[in-house]
Amino acid sequence: MFQPKYDFEWNMLGIYNYNYEGKLSKYFKYLESILDKSGDIFEAGVFRGSTLLSVALFLKEKGSNKKVYGYDSFKGFPPIENDNDNLDRFVDLLESKRITNEHFNKVQSSIRIRELIRNDNIDLHSISTSENFGDTSVKVLQKKIEFLGLDNIVLIDGNFDETMIPSNSYTPKILIGGIIDCDLYKSYKTTLQFVWPKLINGGLLYLDEYYSLKFPGGKIAVDEFLFENKNSGELIMNCKDSLGFERWMLKKTTN
């Protein structure tokens, strides 16, 4: 097993370094506090494996035999779009007071700067510097896993509608926590519906897009899910970073 030691090793491998204070610090502290519980960990939206590899290394360092299940199509955004992912939905979120004026102004600034850099109008597929997240490779990720000697990762390659079904043999039975970083409304909805029954009471889900300047669909999906499943979960803002970004987690409060 190769354990990154120096900063340049973490950076060259493209792995989130949990040894420093960052957006996932409280999530890692939560994982450390609950390693004695039965259950595994999942990630929806793996991309190049930055956090997936990080969590797997962390588990090895702590001597845990838990597995990390990583779900991704490794093809970028699906071709069928949902209206809840359109950038103009940020206007609806503002008007319904589900985001602040400050949040909305940051969204508009982000759009203007992105249009300036691209010298073109932008949409769902171009608002991010990673565009539609198609620049990824499951083969490259598998090579990294082999290089690091990690045997605690289960990659599930395919569209969520096809892979996130209870009958699949690789489906985790119990989950203690996970990361949802899949950007889009339908992906969030599918993931929440799949994961929630498996998540232990008190389990935490890190929501990468609940506060976003690019993708409104994640927040819309989470809010709808909580409305449909009243009194079953609690939103927690785990930090506000130096750039003013809010980092949110969802805690399950009932079985």
Q: Share the mean pLDDT of the chain.
A: 90
Which comes out higher in pLDDT, residue 134 or 58?
58
- Would residue 219 count as lying in a domain? yes
Residue 233 has pLDDT above 80, yes or no: yes
Across the range 41-60, mean pLDDT stands at 95
Residue 133 has pLDDT above 70, yes or no: no
Count Cβ neighbours within 10 Å for each residue of 14-50 and write b for 16 or more, e otherwise: ebbbbeeeebbebbbebbeebeeeebbbbbbbbbbbb
- Would residue 54 count as lying in a domain? yes
Confidence of residue 132 (pLDDT cuts 50, 70, 90): low
- Would residue 119 count as lying in a domain? no
CATH number at residue 24: 3.40.50.150
Residue 199 has pLDDT above 70, yes or no: yes
Confidence of residue 11 (pLDDT cuts 50, 70, 90): very high
Q: How many domains does the chain have?
A: 1
Tokens at 114, concatenated: 């992105």
Q: What is the pLDDT of residue 131?
A: 63
- Would residue 109 count as lying in a domain? no
- Would residue 61 count as lying in a domain? yes
What is the β-pairing status of strands 175-180 and 199-207? parallel
- Would residue 74 count as lying in a domain? yes
Q: What is the pLDDT of residue 255?
A: 62
Give CA–CA dist 72/48, Å, rounded. 10
Burial class (CB in 10 A: 0-12, 13-18, 19+), 202: middle
- Would residue 100 count as lying in a domain? no
Residue 235 contacts residue 180 (beta carbons within 8 Å): no
What is the per-residue pLDDT across 71-127, written as a single tens digit (0 to 9) for each? 998 887 777 679 999 999 999 999 999 999 999 999 999 999 989 988 888 888 888
In angstroms, the Cα distances linking 112 to 84, 117, 123, 211 are 21, 9, 12, 19
Q: The whole model's pTM is what? A: 0.92
Across the range 235-251, mean pLDDT stands at 85
- Would residue 123 count as lying in a domain? no
Across the range 31-43, mean pLDDT stands at 95
Confidence of residue 138 (pLDDT cuts 50, 70, 90): confident
Q: What is the pLDDT of residue 169?
A: 63
Residue 222 contacts residue 252 (beta carbons within 8 Å): no
Give CA–CA dist 11/147, Å, rounded. 15
